[in-house]
Structure 1
Amino acid sequence: MQKDFYLTRYALIIKKIESNPLSYPQLEDYLLNSFEFQDAGVTSYSIRTLQRDIKEISRLFNISIHNKKKGDNRYYIERKDELENDDYNQKLLESFQISNTLNLHPDFSDFIFFESRKPSGLHLFYDLFFAIRNKRIIKFEHYNYKTKEKTVRKVHPLALKESGNRWYLISIDTKDKMLKSFGLDRISFLEVTKSKFRENYKCNLKEHFKHSFGVMNISGQNPEKIVLRCGKEQGEYIKSFPLHQSQRYLRETQENIYLEFFLHPTYDFMQELLSYGEEVTIEEPASFANQIKSKLKKAYENYERT
């Protein structure tokens, strides 16, 4: 069996067993008849290979696959009440799937087209990840789009967060001890120092960002219930690809779909809603709806002057 085919196998196994528990013969039949196996010319899949794959899936993705549940020999994925790493595992698995597919087929550029507008800064990712894990103080220059100036920063790195197809460093600025985010695409001359910071910051970043959209600093604010009225077609798109983990379907009429969120009405979320134009309207709270009205009025006035 091809050595560079393992990630594709893992993805197929997880995808199939998540949707429906299977016995080994059923899983073998599914895999051997998949386009992925046919395309790679793989014609066998032993029970020993499955057992090795299960161990590696557990190690790489923290997903536990078991069988022999109450006399049932089918394989199933063990679930906990809350599997916090589900999103991370899914994202990692998707990335591996794409990477593995491209490695297996060098002619991919004739059939697969990536978004050409990509943010820079990902070359810093591992250095920052190392600094976070080892509590290393870092220094860098950061460019501010508003002031068009670069400033030297010295920070205690805490986490990396993705938002809007960009990556951000979440850290404590040593200058004022404030929690701040820095876009990786605006960081230059990064230095991971040998000095460690000893502070054990009490901020729970998972909780901090649980009710946020984007990377805005929302310290001292309370999340709110936000209700959107969406045009039927746009509402279906948002239902299938939720804007936020708190998104909840409320109801629908012949023309609209109503969705509820529980988060901070930040600038980032406002910009996201403005991108939908007339297809999305804020039903509540009124204060947030008024902010949107003000933005739309300003945009209209800008066009009036042209």
Structure 2
Amino acid sequence: MKKDFFLARYALIIKRLERSPATFEEIEQFLLDSREFQDANVYQYSIRTLQRDLKDINSLFNLVIQNKKKGDNRYFIASRPIMEVDEYNQRLLESYQIINAINAYPDFADFVFLEPRKPRGIDSFYDLLFAIRNKKVVEFEHFSFLNQKITKRKVHPLALKESKDRWYLIAVDTKDKKTKSFGLDRIKYLDVYKASYRERYKIDVKEHFKNSFGVMNLEEQKPQKIVLECSKQQAEYVKSFPLHSTQELVSETPEKVVFELCLHPTYDFMQEILSYGKEVKVLEPQCLIDDIKIHLQESIKNYFL
């Protein structure tokens, strides 16, 4: 069996067992019937290989698969990591499946068309992750889109956060002790200090951004209930890819669907709503409705000068 085929096997095994418990024979048949195995010209799969794969799945994804129920020789997912880690693992598996599929076809460029925009700043990702895990002081130059200036920053890094295909460093600025976000694509001359910082911050980054859209978080304000009315067609997209983790479906008719969210109505969120055009209407809160009206009126002026 090809050495570079293990990621596809892991993904397929998990996919089969997420459907229901299965015997080795059922797992084997599922793998051999898959397009991945057929394209790779793989025609056999042993129980010894399965046992090795299960150990690797446990090590890589912290997902325990076993078959130790009395009188039952079916394999099943016995335990899985906490929700946040499990979501990360799922995205990782999806990436593996895409990479494996592309690698299987040397002429993939004729059939698979990737987004030409590429994320920048990823070259510092590993260094920043190291600094976060080891509480190392970090210094860098950062360019601000708002004031078009480059400033030198010395920070205590806390986490890395993704938003709209961009990565951000969440850190405490040593100058004013405030928690801020810095776009990795605008960070240059990164320097990770050998010394570690001793401060023990009580900041729960997950909780910090719980009611935020993107990387903007207004700690001094309380999140608000936001009610959106979507056309039936657009609602299907919003259902399948929620705008925020707090999104809930409130009501549904043949023509309209109403969703409710709880978050800060920031400029980033307003831009997201505006991107849906006439398909999405804000019903609450009034402050967001007013902001959208002003924004649309200003936009119309650009076309009637």
Judge same fold: TM > 0.5, yes or no: yes
Q: Give the SS at the match of 1:140.
A: strand
- Deviation, 1:80, is 6.5
The answer to whether the 8 Å contact 2:36/2:101 transfers is: no
Determine whether 1:159 maps to 2:159: yes
* Change in CA separation of 1:215 and 1:140 when aligned onto 2, cut-off 3 Å: same
Query: Which residue type is aligned with residue 38 of structure 1?
Result: Q
Distance 1:256 1:79, change over 3 A: farther
Q: Quick check: 1:228–1:281 contact (8 Å CA) kept in 2?
A: yes
Distance apart, 1:194 and its partner CA: 1.1
Deviation by residue 1:18-50 (Cα, 9 ceiling, x = unmatched): 122222111110100100001111111111211
1:14 alignment counterpart:
14
Give the direction of change, closer, same or farther, for the CA distance of 1:51–1:140 in structure 2 (3 Å limit). same
User: 2:54 aligned with 1:54, yes or no?
Assistant: yes
Q: What is the number of residues matched between the two proteins?
A: 305
Letter of the 1:186 counterpart: R
Supply the distance in 1 between the matched residues of 2:215 and 2:78 (Cα, whole angstroms).
33
* Separation in structure 1 between the aligned mates of residue 66 and residue 164 of structure 2, nearest angstrom: 37
Structure 1 CA distance for aligned equivalents of residues 293 and 219 of structure 2: 25
Partner of 2:186: 186
Q: CA deviation at 1:154?
A: 0.7
Matched with 2:109 is 109
Greater mean alpha carbon deviation, residues 71-80 or residues 155-164? 71-80
Q: Which structure 1 segments of 5+ residues have no match?
A: none
Query: What residue ranges of structure 2 are gaps of 5+ in the alignment?
Result: none
RMSD: 1.7
Q: Secondary structure at the match of 1:151?
A: strand
**Alpha-carbon shift at residue 79 of structure 1 (Å):** 4.8
Counterpart of 2:29?
A: 29
What amino acid maps onto 2:302 in structure 1? N
Per the normalisation by structure 2, the TM-score is: 0.95
| 1:171-208 residue CA offsets vs partner (Å, 9 max, x unmatched) | 01111111000111111111112121111110101111
Match of 1:211 in 2: 211
Give the whole-Å Cα distance in 2 for the aligned partners of 1:250 and 1:22.
38
Counterparts of 2:273 and 2:235, CA distance in 1: 12
Kindly tell me: are residues 101 and 135 of structure 1, through their superposed partners in 2, closer, same or farther at Cα, counting changes over 3 Å? same
Q: Deviations over 1:67-111 (max 9, x none)?
A: 243533322223569533121111111222223333343332222
SS in structure 2 at match of 1:84:
helix
Q: Counterparts of 1:50-199 in structure 2 under 5 Å?
A: 50-69=50-69, 71-79=71-79, 83-199=83-199
- Rounded Cα–Cα distance in structure 1 between residues aligned with 2:250 and 2:50: 43
For 2:217 and 2:226, the matched residues in 1 are separated by 19
Paired residue secondary structure (2:245): coil
